A and B are shown apart, each in its own frame.
Chain A
Amino acid sequence: MSDLLTSLNSAARALDAQRFGMDVTGQNIANVNTPGYSRRAIDLVWIAPYDKMSAGGGVEVVGVRALRDRLLDRRLQQELPAERREAAIAEALRTVEAAIGRPGESLDVKLNAFFDSFAKLADNPTSSVARQEVLLQGGALATSFQDMAARLRSAQADSDQQIRAVVDQVNTLTSRMAALNATASHAAATGALPALQDEQLYLARQLSELVDVSVIDHGNGVVDITLGNGKPLVVAEHQYDLGTSSTAPLGYASITSGGVDVTSQITGGRLGGLLQVRDVNVPAYLDQLDTLAYNVATQVNTLHTAGYDQTGTAGVAFFTFSPSIVGTAGAAEALVVNPLVAADARKIAAASITDVGDNQTARGIAALRDARVLNSGTATFTDAWGQLVYTVGRDSKDAADDQATREEIVRQVDQLRDQISGVSLDEEAANLLKFQRAYEANARFFKACEDTIDSLLRNLS
């Protein structure tokens, strides 16, 4: 049978429990803006009666729970790499797009001016002014190709720099994760497990933004991380660094794990996006640019060498490559006006016969503007340039659109996660009120018990 002192005890316990509830509420409110924080709920149970003459032992605090949905956390870890990948591509391609320039302000203008200059020369093949103009525009076209190639190369180098930085960030995060894993047993013993898990989930989220990783949560405060392909990054308290090694010929970073090159296996996250830009997108653009430069040079040279210059000598190549190239690779960067021609405008071959007044070769070169000489006779030079502009624009737009869609998915998942784990100030206010009132009521009960004991003692005296 319960006695007054037991009641007093249970009232004291109840006061403790309600005060603890207020503490938890306070903790939630305090962390309303803390990233990665999952709201805590207090678990209370009633204490069963000892015998049939007992009402029960009051209330007891069983523990504090962090409210999470593992499924949503996992969903986020899956969506984030794809979203961040597209974001990285969109961001890098924006720079490339700026390098390519707008229609009417880029290589197309130089191409047109170059063919214009030959048309003017055809109009007046003996004019030294027209010849100087051809040299000027030829030089401008070559420079324009060189600049464009240099800008694309620098976009590639920028991506490489960022890749190295991201690898460092990944290593920092994984080493933190390993350090957290090492504290798991201690955290479990001291009740700090929810806080530890919050931090681990937040780290996993940050990692997912950088690279596509698999997160294996053992549920006991130990989280293992592997790369998408299974290469371990964190196993319990052991961390495995990602490495970078500069690879010839351009010295760009290959990513290694345990001495093995894993570059091609990384597709997601910011790292995956940057690799895509550096190793796939920009090389493809450069390739198109090189092919265009090479074909401009070859087509012009074919006509030019078949013609005769102002002194009646057979024409030399109008464009040359310095340094010389093999195939089309590097053509844009190496394109120059043949120094022999550049030094003497009379060496420009405008004629197809030895007569100085003949303009057949100049007309032929001017007509190359409209000639479908590329892609097996289906595209003009401007078409080919337009194709490159279109490819860059489309890639950039695709990445931006894709990122927008995925960002929305991430936002929705975040929102869903928030509905479970996030702190609602209204709810916390209500909880505060609830615990406060309960505390007041329990305090009254305590007072009542005390008064009863008091009156009993008074009667005895």
Chain B
Amino acid sequence: MTYTAAEMMTVAAARALGNGDICFVGIGLPSAACNLARLTHAPRIHLIYESGTLGTRPEVLPLSIGDGELCETALTTVTVPEVFRYWLQGGRITVGFLSGAQVDRFGNLNSTVIGDYAKPKVRLPGSGGATEIATGCGQIFIVMRHGARSFVKQLDFLTSLGHGRTGRERQELGIRTKGPVLLVSDLCIMRPDPETNELVVTSLHPGITCARVRENTSWDVRFAETMAETAPPAAMELEVLRNLHARTARAHRAAGGSE
């Protein structure tokens, strides 16, 4: 069965989630991955969106973080201050999904500006919930398309802390959560080196070469000594994901969808 790079990325991210997870979900690819996990191998996963919907089970993927679908299918809906204070800051979320315009070798993320902050070349949306999700969730999964302009040596702005500019900043700042433990791209899977916290490639998606990853990464990317090949999406995973996207496209009455 043929599949796209985006489908491989979503499926690989979904597989990392389990039934015991309490997951803080962002819009776009994270939302697709979390709901794919819920509809396949992790039916008891608990999804929380920052609009305050706890235990939501959407039939279609929301276009925005606060679509009515999320509230209507949630166990309960709390206020936005409550979701950030009691649920995120209170340490009750096991996994947070993040993405950004730029990521560096230590999993730090920029979603604020390209160029100088005062005179930006591109003004990006900004933190949203990300800055505190990065430190408040038990661990962080990053999902991003690979590209030399997004996998950078140095961020233009550090919006959300990964392992810091030295790789050891979390410990120095007294942060007890793990930070980025996994990065899933459309080319590969990366995990932090246990010694240095630098993200290293641990698994290549089928048909992807090391050279291709190098071309698309601006730092001198490292590969694990024993590398795996990511299992391609199973027919069932693809079917569930495609049905989800088809339902979503119909519901939004527009072409495009969410990824």
Partners in one complex: no
Chain B residues with CB under 8 Å of chain A are none
